[in-house]
C-alpha cells in the first residue's frame, strides 16, 4: 500500500493512526509481498492475519489463498475491511482474547501479521499455547523482541522467552526492517521472524508444565546461580549428568539441557517411544457376538485375527459443558497425533468396563471422578471389533497427561467440535468419531 493510499483511506474513514493500538502502517509494497511470500501459503490453505489494519499484507495473502481470516481490534476499520475483502472472514475483536480453538476446523493454519508491538510477545504466547492450531508463523516484531526469540545461550538476550517458545518452535530471524517503511514511523526497528514446528527428533519430549516452571524459576533472578533459583535437592547429580558446573546460571544451559533437566527432575527418560508401545504383555478377554467372554488372548493376536474384545471411551465435560479431547502422542502405534476421546482403553482380561473406565481416567488424565455410562457401540469393523461403553465424567482439570501417551489436550465447545468433525474427520481417531456420532447430543 502506498503512502498516498494510506492517507486517502484514513481520510475517507475519518481516522488517524492510534498509538495505543500500535498502528504503524506498512507502505512498502515490495516488502509487503516479500513478507507474505515467506508464509508460503498454498492455494486453498488456511491462514489468519493478526491486525490487518488497512490490508497492506492482506491483498498479497488473498492472492495466494482465499481461505483467510482477518482479526482486527479497531472498530473503525471493520466495515472497510469487509467491503474491501468480501471473500475473507473478518473477525472484529482483540487477538489476545480470540479463541484459537475456532481455527482447528480449518486445518493447520498459517498465522502472520505485522504485530502491534505493545502486545507482540503476549500474542505469541497466546497463539503458540498448546495445543496450537498454527502450522507456522511469519511475524514482524520489534527488533529487540525478535532477537530475544532467536538468542543463543550465554547472551543477554537469551532467556525464558527464547526457551518457552523455542521448545516447540524453530525461530529464524529473516530480515531487519527499517522503521521508515511504516507510517507513522515507529521509534524502533523491526524484524521479520518465522516460526516452524520443530521436527520430532530435534528436541526430546518432556513435561511441558514442569519445563515452564523450571525455566521461569531459573531466570527469575538471572544473576543468581541456577541451583539457588530452582532449589532442586538433587542438583549436584543433575548438573553432572548435564555436563554443567554446579555454579551454572540459567543462561548457560541450552534448550536441550533445559529439556534434559526437566526429564531428570520428573524421573522421565525423554525416550517415550518404548513406553508408548509397551503393550506386548497385555491380555484381553475375547467375547462372542453377544459380548459374552469366551476366552483370553494377547493383544497382538486379538487385533491381528480381528477377534471381538472390549474397550471404554470416556468423555470428560467441564462446567461450561465443553468436552476434553486428548491429542495422541506421536509414538502411539495406532492413530499417532490424532485427536481422541478424553481417555480410552481396552478392557484387560478379568476386568469390567466400569473398572477399566476408572483406571483409564486415572492413568491418562491423572484424576478421579464419578463415571456415568451414556452409550455403547456394538462390535463392528468400524470399532476395530471392539464392544465399546462410553462414559461421561465431570471435571474441570487440570490434568496430568503422560507425555508418552498424550501430546496435549484441550476442552472444546460442542459447536467447535461439530464443525471440526464435519470439516476434517481425518484429524480424529476413528474410535472417537464412532463414539461422538453415537452420543454427541448427550454430551
- What separation in angstroms does the CA of 221 have from each of 121, 226, 253? 20, 9, 15
Helix, strand, coil fractions of the chain, as percent rounded to 5 = 40, 25, 35
Give the residue, chosen from 68, 116, 345, 403, that forms a contact with ligand SAM under the rule CB under 6 A: 116
Give the residue, chosen from 74, 205, 360, 364, that forms a contact with ligand SAM under the rule CB under 6 A: 74
Task: Report d(CA 322, CA 412) in Å as an integer.
Answer: 5
Residues 227, 253 contacting (CB under 8 angstroms): no
- What separation in angstroms does the CA of 251 have from each of 104, 152, 173, 240, 258? 36, 9, 20, 17, 10
State yes or no: residue 114 binds ligand SAM (CB under 6 A): yes
Number of residues engaging ligand SAM in binding (CB under 6 A): 24
* Of 71 and 248, CB closest to ligand SAM: 71
Residue 269 grid cell: 527418560
Please state, as a whole number, how many other Cβ atoms lie within 10 Å of the Cβ of residue 135. Answer: 18
Give the residue, chosen from 45, 64, 68, 73, that forms a contact with ligand SAM under the rule CB under 6 A: 73
x/- letters, 118..157, toward ligand SAM (CB under 6 A)? -x--------------------------------------
Q: Is 240 exposed, middle or buried (0-12, 13-18, 19+ CB in 10 A)?
A: exposed
* Of 18 and 380, CB closest to ligand SAM: 18
E strands, 347-385, are 371-377
* Of 16 and 306, CB closest to ligand SAM: 16
Interface with ligand SAM in residues 18-47 (CB under 6 A): 21-26
Q: What are phi and psi of 112, to 5 degrees?
A: -145, 170
Least CB distance from residue 113 to ligand SAM, whole Å? 6
Q: To which H or E segment does residue 314 belong?
A: strand 309-317
* Of 55 and 166, CB closest to ligand SAM: 55
* Of 94 and 246, CB closest to ligand SAM: 94
* Of 119 and 433, CB closest to ligand SAM: 119
E strands, 150-203, are 169-177, 182-183, 190-197
* Of 54 and 406, CB closest to ligand SAM: 54
Least CB distance from residue 26 to ligand SAM, whole Å? 4
State yes or no: residue 403 binds ligand SAM (CB under 6 A): no
Give the residue, chosen from 28, 52, 251, 364, that forms a contact with ligand SAM under the rule CB under 6 A: 52
State yes or no: residue 100 binds ligand SAM (CB under 6 A): no
Give the residue, chosen from 41, 71, 195, 429, that forms a contact with ligand SAM under the rule CB under 6 A: 71
Least CB distance from residue 188 to ligand SAM, whole Å? 12
Nearest to 278 by CA among 403, 363, 404, 406: 404
Binding footprint of ligand SAM on the chain (CB under 6 A) = 21-26, 50-54, 56-57, 71-74, 94-96, 113-114, 116, 119
Amino acid at each position: 500500500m502506498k503512502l498516498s493510499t494510506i492517507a486517502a483511506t484514513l481520510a475517507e474513514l475519518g481516522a488517524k493512526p492510534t498509538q495505543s493500538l500500535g498502528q504503524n502502517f506498512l507502505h512498502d509494497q515490495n516488502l509487503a509481498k516479500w513478507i507474505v511470500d515467506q508464509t508460503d501459503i498454498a492455494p486453498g490453505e488456511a491462514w489468519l492475519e493478526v491486525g490487518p489494519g488497512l490490508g497492506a499484507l492482506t491483498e498479497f495473502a488473498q492472492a495466494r489463498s482465499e481461505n483467510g481470516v482477518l482479526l482486527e481490534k479497531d472498530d473503525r476499520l471493520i466495515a472497510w475491511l469487509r467491503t474491501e475483502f468480501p471473500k475473507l472472514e473478518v473477525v472484529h475483536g482483540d487477538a489476545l482474547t480470540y479463541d484459537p480453538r475456532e481455527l482447528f476446523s480449518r486445518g493447520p493454519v498459517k498465522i502472520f501479521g505485522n504485530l502491534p508491538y505493545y502486545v507482540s510477545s503476549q500474542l505469541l504466547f497466546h497463539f503458540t499455547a498448546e495445543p496450537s492450531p498454527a502450522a507456522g508463523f511469519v511475524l514482524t516484531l520489534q527488533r529487540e523482541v525478535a532477537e530475544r526469540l532467536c538468542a543463543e545461550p550465554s547472551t543477554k538476550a537469551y532467556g525464558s522467552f527464547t526457551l518457552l517458545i523455542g521448545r516447540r518452535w524453530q525461530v529464524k530471524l529473516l530480515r531487519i526492517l527499517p522503521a521508515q517503511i511504516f507510517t507513522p514511523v515507529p521509534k524502533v526497528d523491526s524484524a521479520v521472524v518465522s516460526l516452524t514446528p520443530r521436527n520430532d527428533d530435534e528436541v526430546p519430549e518432556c513435561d511441558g508444565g514442569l519445563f515452564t516452571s523450571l525455566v521461569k524459576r531459573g531466570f527469575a533472578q538471572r544473576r543468581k546461580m541456577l541451583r539457588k533459583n530452582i532449589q532442586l535437592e538433587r542438583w549436584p547429580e543433575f548438573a553432572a549428568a548435564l555436563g554443567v558446573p554446579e555454579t551454572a546460571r540459567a543462561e548457560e544451559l541450552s534448550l536441550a539441557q533445559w529439556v534434559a533437566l526437566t526429564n531428570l527432575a520428573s524421573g522421565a527418560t525423554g525416550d517415550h517411544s518404548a513406553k508408548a508401545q509397551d503393550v506386548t504383555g497385555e491380555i484381553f478377554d475375547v467375547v462372542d457376538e453377544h459380548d459374552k467372554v469366551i476366552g483370553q488372548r494377547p493383544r497382538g493376536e486379538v487385533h491381528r485375527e480381528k477377534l471381538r474384545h472390549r474397550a471404554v471411551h470416556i468423555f470428560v465435560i467441564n462446567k461450561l459443558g465443553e468436552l476434553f479431547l486428548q491429542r495422541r502422542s506421536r509414538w502411539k502405534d495406532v492413530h499417532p497425533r490424532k485427536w481422541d476421546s478424553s481417555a480410552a482403553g481396552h478392557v484387560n482380561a478379568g476386568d469390567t468396563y466400569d473398572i477399566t473406565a476408572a483406571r483409564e481416567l486415572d492413568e491418562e488424565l491423572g484424576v478421579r471422578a464419578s463415571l456415568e455410562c451414556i452409550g455403547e457401540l456394538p462390535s463392528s469393523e468400524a470399532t476395530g471389533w471392539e464392544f465399546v461403553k462410553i462414559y461421561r465424567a465431570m471435571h474441570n482439570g487440570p490434568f496430568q497427561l503422560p507425555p508418552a501417551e498424550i501430546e496435549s489436550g484441550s476442552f472444546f465447545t460442542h459447536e467447535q467440535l461439530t464443525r471440526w468433525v464435519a470439516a476434517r474427520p481425518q484429524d480424529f481417531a476413528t474410535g472417537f468419531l464412532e463414539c461422538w456420532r453415537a452420543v454427541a447430543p448427550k454430551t
